[in-house]
Amino acid sequence: MLTSPVSAVRGVGARRAEALAELGVRAVGQLIAYLPTRHEKLEAETPIGDLAVGVNAATRGEVTATRVARRGKARFEAVLIDETGRLDLCWFNATYLHGSIVPGIRLRVQGKAQKFGPGLQMANPKHDILREDAEPPMREEKLRPVYAASSAISSRQIGQLIESVLPAALPLIADHLSDDFRAQHSLPTLAQAYRMMHQPAHDDEVKAGRRRLAFDELLMLQLALALKRSMVRQSTRAPALPVGPQIDKHIRARLPFKLTAAQDRVVKEITADLARPEPASRLIQGDVGSGKTAVALYAMLAAVANRHQGALMAPTEILAEQHAATIRGMLEGSGVRVALLTGSLSAGERSATLAGLRDGTIDIAIGTHALFSRAVDFKSLGVAVIDEQHRFGVHQRLALRGKGEGVGTMPHVLVMTATPIPRTLAMTVLGDLDVSLIDALPPGRKKIVTRVVDSMARQEVYAFVRTRLDAGERAFIVAPAIDRETMEEDSIFEAGGEKSAQGGPDRGAVGEGSAPLSAPPPTRPALPTTVADLLAELTAGPLKGKKLAALHGRLPQPERDAIMALFRAGAIDALVATTVIEVGVDVPEATMMIVEDADRFGLATLHQLRGRVGRGGKAGACVLITSTASPVAAERLGIMAKSNDGFKIAQKDIEIRGFGDVIGVRQSGMPPFVVADLARDLDLLTLARRDAAAWLERSPRLDTPADKLARARLLKAHGKWLGLADVG
Ligand code: ADP
Ligand code: MG
């Protein structure tokens, strides 16, 4: 019966069947699985004569008269009668109701009755028009499920269909969790859970039903991920890269500073991973400036010391070049050979580099995403580090298979990010990563003072910039767009970083618009500030005589390199740039970050931008210029002024803009949850993860007869995106 088409249900003709199909419901089982999006509380009904003043209540009766009143506030009025009395109803600004509420119909209303002349009136009550076969009056409060409906079928009609099949269907729903397991976790059976969702007796049943179904989703996902993990583990090895005291000493000797305690702890976590012949997948989180590069270098050198290779993938060429320069600097005279592989190598350089990676004469490769494309063969990649790209999910990691020594090997993978990823996402969307946290900054960091400044005061800002440039300091000045033709932001982050999505000129506005209590969109100047305009303005006016240059992703690579080199060397005083400089750029002499139209950027982007300054000995200043009138935008920028803690800022950003926008949940390939909600189900997720591990401990391949149902359901939900086919 569960697999029969819905058209087999009484009352479902071709039209209904089609309407249901549009909602994704074709079989009876799918109808049962079509869960309400919420539950509406229906008050118990009171006869009209017993209604009390000021108390929320429901009642029903017959409509005996109606009228549209246009004097004063436009309103629709009706008189409702039952055998105990009369109730006047009125709806303001709802004169259209005269089309549906007509004398003679029966109506159920819910609201607060007030004294009205000699009788009672209910203003703006919720109402249901009762059909011939309406349910009898309810003497007890009831929850009514509300289903996502369409113009072709209403929530009520869906509810009635479900109600009609439920008694016969529920006993047929088999449970993939054993009685023992359920008892241990106080979970209802699957059939009970569906009943509780569709026909809850009270709130607690909705909760219990929801918990069971959410837990199922999370458990299935965790089982699938764990299964995938163990498959990868069985079929894929990584080189064991033990780091003894000798190697550790040598590596540390290469760093120009002592690692902070936080870096040390993370290095320990990494070396523990590397020592095992199984591919590690670890997420390294650390705020801007916390020193992730040194940790990455440590891991790569651990590979090199064990006669394997290391690779570091950066989201932009500028950043790749900078990493190459820093790392070459630290490795000077060590004999470790470092190569840069970016899209702008000449054909000759490229083929030489590829040959070096293949024959192992290159120890460490640094580059953009092209680094891990099919065309690039490593002799034996031991450690792959992905910088500032937390969308690097399970698929991308698996694409590294075969980059190790021989078939069936893959490197250990470290993903580094300054954007705090909630544990829930690391454990799900990203395909279950271990997490390390660098939770302190290196000593001697100067605090960056952040000011939000109205655009009316721009000239004062640039006067201040000028005095500091005169004193030999350097500045970044960021504009939202390159020029008038290209209003989109620089697309240099399209390699998959979230940055472009966040910094895009429209995104800020969307974020504000969707936030609660948002004001109408602020009026914007006709055009966003552009690099071109700003450069012209500053050169002619406030920064006249200073050496300025434009920097953005559309400049050819050699030109960008040259400009960065001049800026580093002090031959350029200020860069007028897009967010290409957002991630990772490290110029210690830069002390000022000026952002025009700052409200157009996401908070994480602004925090990254701010992290570019104050890296040397001198205190940094960050000025966020805005002309927004939106209080929400002002609040967002205010957070920047108040906090220097990237994790706190990201948390706020998530609160204001929601999860999906901040991290690319949609791109992961993971099917969306129907019931579970990562924003609030961390406890269930943790439980599910533990249970999944325990389950596979008992039954590593999930192939005992008792697992049969769970396994089938798991493969149905996750087989495809995780490529679990070979399990089934
Ligand atoms: P991020 O985590 O943002 O990638 P970086 O690795 O670029 O940070 O490091 C930021 C700056 O801090 C660099 O200039 C780096 O040389 C410096 N740094 C990193 N670790 C330490 C340390 N333990 N002591 C002093 N300076 C450090
Ligand atoms: Mg970095």
Which neighbouring-strand residues pair with 108?
60, 128
> How many percent of the chain have pLDDT more than 70?
90
Residues 24 and 66 in one domain: no
Alpha carbon distance 55, 58 (integer Å):
10
Return the closest-CA partner of residue 440 out of 647, 654, 653, 651.
647
**Does 533 map to a domain?**
yes
Token pair of 153 as six digits: 């079928």
Q: Which atom of ligand 1 lies nearest, measured to the CA of 611?
A: 3
Residue 687 amino acid letter: L
Residues 534 and 636 in one domain: yes
Last residue in a domain, options 643, 661, 696: 643
Domain CATH number, residue 56: 2.40.50.140
Integer angstrom CA distances of residue 646 from 184, 373, 396, 420: 40, 32, 26, 8
Residues 521 and 433 in one domain: no
Return the closest-CA partner of residue 487 out of 517, 532, 539.
532
Residues 454 and 594 in one domain: yes
pLDDT of res. 497:
30
Return the closest-CA partner of residue 528 out of 546, 505, 494.
505
pLDDT of res. 492:
26
Q: Which atom of ligand 1 lies nearest, measured to the CA of 263?
A: 23
322 C-alpha vs ligand 1 centroid, how far in Å? 13
Q: How confident is the model at residue 504 (pLDDT cuts 50, 70, 90)?
A: very low
Asked if 609 and 595 count as a contact pair (C-beta separation under 8 A), the reply is yes
pLDDT of res. 680:
80
Residue 584 Cβ < 6 Å to ligand 1: yes
Q: What's the mean pLDDT in 62-68?
A: 95
Q: How confident is the model at residue 496 (pLDDT cuts 50, 70, 90)?
A: very low
Minimum CA distance residue for ligand 1 atom 23:
259
Alpha carbon distance 499, 601 (integer Å):
10
pLDDT tens readout for residues 390-419: 666 677 777 777 777 777 788 999 999 887
- Residues whose CB falls within 8 Å of the CB of residue 714, separated by 6 or more in sequence, listed in order: 220, 223, 224, 227, 702, 724
Strand order in the sheet with 309-313: 338-341, 364-367, 309-313, 381-387, 412-417, 281-286, 434-438
Alpha carbon distance 218, 686 (integer Å):
9
Ligand nearest to the CA of 615: 1
Terminal-residue alpha carbon distance, the chain:
25
pLDDT of res. 412:
94
Residue 248 Cβ < 6 Å to ligand 1: no
**Does 681 map to a domain?**
no
Q: How confident is the model at residue 667 (pLDDT cuts 50, 70, 90)?
A: low
Token pair of 252 as six digits: 């540390």
Q: What's the mean pLDDT in 33-42?
A: 92
294 C-alpha vs ligand 1 centroid, how far in Å? 7
Q: Which atom of ligand 1 lies nearest, measured to the CA of 258?
A: 23
Residue 615 Cβ < 6 Å to ligand 1: yes
Residue 126, pLDDT above cutoff 80? yes
Residue 490, pLDDT above cutoff 70? no
Number of domains in the chain: 4
DSSP single-letter state for residue 135? P
Higher-confidence residue of 169 and 427: namely 169
Residue 257 Cβ < 6 Å to ligand 1: yes
pTM of the model: 0.72
For the chain, give the mean pLDDT.
85
Residues 28 and 54 in one domain: no
Residues 415 and 470 in one domain: no
DSSP single-letter state for residue 237? B
**Does 482 map to a domain?**
yes
Residue 319 Cβ < 6 Å to ligand 1: no
Residues, Cβ < 5 Å to ion ligand 2: 292, 584
Cα 56–Cα 155–Cα 216 angle in degrees, nearest 5:
100
Q: Which atom of ligand 1 lies nearest, measured to the CA of 296?
A: 6
Q: How confident is the model at residue 508 (pLDDT cuts 50, 70, 90)?
A: very low
pLDDT tens readout for residues 18-36: 999 999 999 999 999 999 9
The residue to mutate among 252, 254, 257, 298, having the most atoms of ligand 1 within 8 angstroms of its beta carbon, is: 257
pLDDT of res. 153:
93
Please give the residue range of the domain that contains residue 26. Answer: 1-40+149-171
Last residue in a domain, options 438, 468, 497: 438
